[in-house]
Structure 1
């Protein structure tokens, strides 16, 4: 009761309506249906990022709590390989043209290069104190890795698997993405509430764009001619115009928004949150429009989408049976443009 009184006093003092301060956005049915829930190996522990090679029908899941990378065939939904000895594995990306997978083993401070076809480790290299999200730059043949705690980007030669540079950011590194239209790197500087714009050829910071109305910009996606920023401190999704990164709008999403993914055929953005809430956003309006917001599964904060089928993959620590699993959804017919 004392806490509530304090909140009341604060809301009145700063002139913010109490309803605005305390009311969470209403749930709205997701335009999705669950088509399968697949059991996964390992302990009932946290997953982090995921990535998908649609052409090869391969899905890669970073099982952070288990220190493993799972490789699944999306035609059968079966695990076909497990890469072990990846302590606290966080970020993962697949680069189909190189037949390479890159994973951040944060517990070892390494980025690990893996052969996509054989699931064998090709190289390990230092990548800071807590390597996390990754992005591939095809114009330089390099992988950029966010060192979250170290406040920097590690730049890796994708063919040799060895680091070539470090770019300090001046704050905690959130997610990192490549903007192909501008041939530049965008990275969240989450403790400064900024997006840093970097030339990947010279590895110099070109500009820093503030993200208004955003607390702790962590998630990031460049797609559909815009940049999308997930603010996990105040549960917002910001839409920014490219190339200038000017704000187009802000939407309410689930508690602790983390991973963003797009279904390009339907122009539908998915926001997966730590709470297990998923928000879907129609990208046809410039600022986006929420089409669904609901709880999908506990800890469903990771999502990868197959652009050819529209199926979305959400790895979770426990499906209710005491073991990890993969929740697979398909879009409803009415989500088609």
Structure 2
């Protein structure tokens, strides 16, 4: 396993330019995950501190709705196959379903203890939800919006992702330094991969094309690159301090790693070769990122910029 280090934030540089800083509604409180519907030009953002799902029009560059009563919302996921939004309401230990046409909550489903990240397995019509404190993944049948299984994972659960090649679900078990694999046909754990060098493996992104899993470790600020075929960690990189959300521009092969520190790290992925593009300060609390690969725009909701909540939009310079 090789190791590489990024430059520090003070001397760092990112190949990004700021397109706009757009004021957002609500209070200067914490944001969490964001999910893009590129066809409808909508960005759904979890405004955790305000317990709302914010709907931002990326074409008009303005907030068009705040969907309230989503207690301490963490995860948010737009599912194109369903034209539906799901959000994890950690305050009430539920997952809520939202209709993008009416922007109304259409269902509430019990979801373990501290539901967080979510992934959708389309072939089985199931949503998988990380129950961070409960040590499980909750499984929801999206046809009936009911909980159909609870999968014990044996430790604190980080992010959960779907791999369209194997059609399996993968989840970080951060207290065991493992990546677990779930077969959606049976909702059973079918493999556990130990992650040498992991401390608090929370963030997860799977690039199906390269057969790589990218794992962000919040406790030691590392990015691990895992070969999904061999289940070996190929490399480890120093990244933005306290890394959280990962996003990928598949058209450019750029991986974004957003940190609680406000730093962001960028990587270039070519096949199974991963190289550093830079690490630098992006903005205060810039730990959430969503990417539009068509425009090469990245969206970073910032808790407070000049005293107000702000959405920083960047353009890739490539």
Which TM-score tier does this pair reach, normalised by the shorter chain?
A: over 0.9
Q: Is the 8 A contact 2:6 2:237 kept in 1?
A: no
Q: Secondary structure at the match of 1:139?
A: helix
1:15 counterpart residue number: none
What is the CA distance between 1:216 and its match in structure 2?
1.0
Pair 1:325-2:310 in alignment: yes
User: Which of 277, 293, 313 is the equivalent residue of 1:291?
Assistant: 277
Residues 98-107 or 23-32, more deviating:
23-32
Q: Secondary structure at the match of 1:324?
A: strand
Mapping for residues 1-337 of structure 1, pairs under 5 Å: 25-27=7-9, 28-223=12-207, 224-225=209-210, 226-284=212-270, 286-320=272-306, 322-332=307-317, 335=318
What is the CA distance between 1:286 and its match in structure 2?
2.4
Are residues 255 and 200 of structure 1, via their aligned partners in 2, closer, same or farther at CA, if it must alter by over 3 Å? Answer: same
Q: Which stretches in structure 1 are left out of the alignment for 5+ residues?
A: 1-22
- Which string of whole-angstrom CA distances, capped at 9 and with x for unpartnered residues, describes residues 234-293 of structure 1? 110011112332111111101100000001111000000000100000111624111110
Count how many residue pairs are aligned between Structure 1 and Structure 2. 311
Q: Secondary structure at the match of 1:298?
A: coil
After TM superposition, where is structure 1 displaced by more than 4 Å over at least 4 residues in a row?
A: none
Are residues 26 and 285 of structure 1, via their aligned partners in 2, closer, same or farther at CA, if it must alter by over 3 Å? Answer: farther
Q: TM-score, normalised by structure 2?
A: 0.95
Q: Secondary structure at the match of 1:52?
A: strand
Structure with greater proportional helix content:
1
Q: Is the 8 A contact 2:51 2:73 kept in 1?
A: yes
Q: Which stretches in structure 2 are left out of the alignment for 5+ residues?
A: none
The structure, 1 or 2, with the larger RCO (C-alpha pairs under 8 Å, 6+ apart) is: 2
CA distance in 2, matches of 1:97, 1:285: 28
- Which string of whole-angstrom CA distances, capped at 9 and with x for unpartnered residues, describes residues 145-164 of structure 1? 00000000000111222111
Q: Secondary structure at the match of 1:65?
A: helix
Q: Is the 8 A contact 2:6 2:239 kept in 1?
A: no
What is the CA distance between 1:93 and its match in structure 2?
0.3
Structure with greater proportional strand content:
2
Q: Secondary structure at the match of 2:50?
A: coil
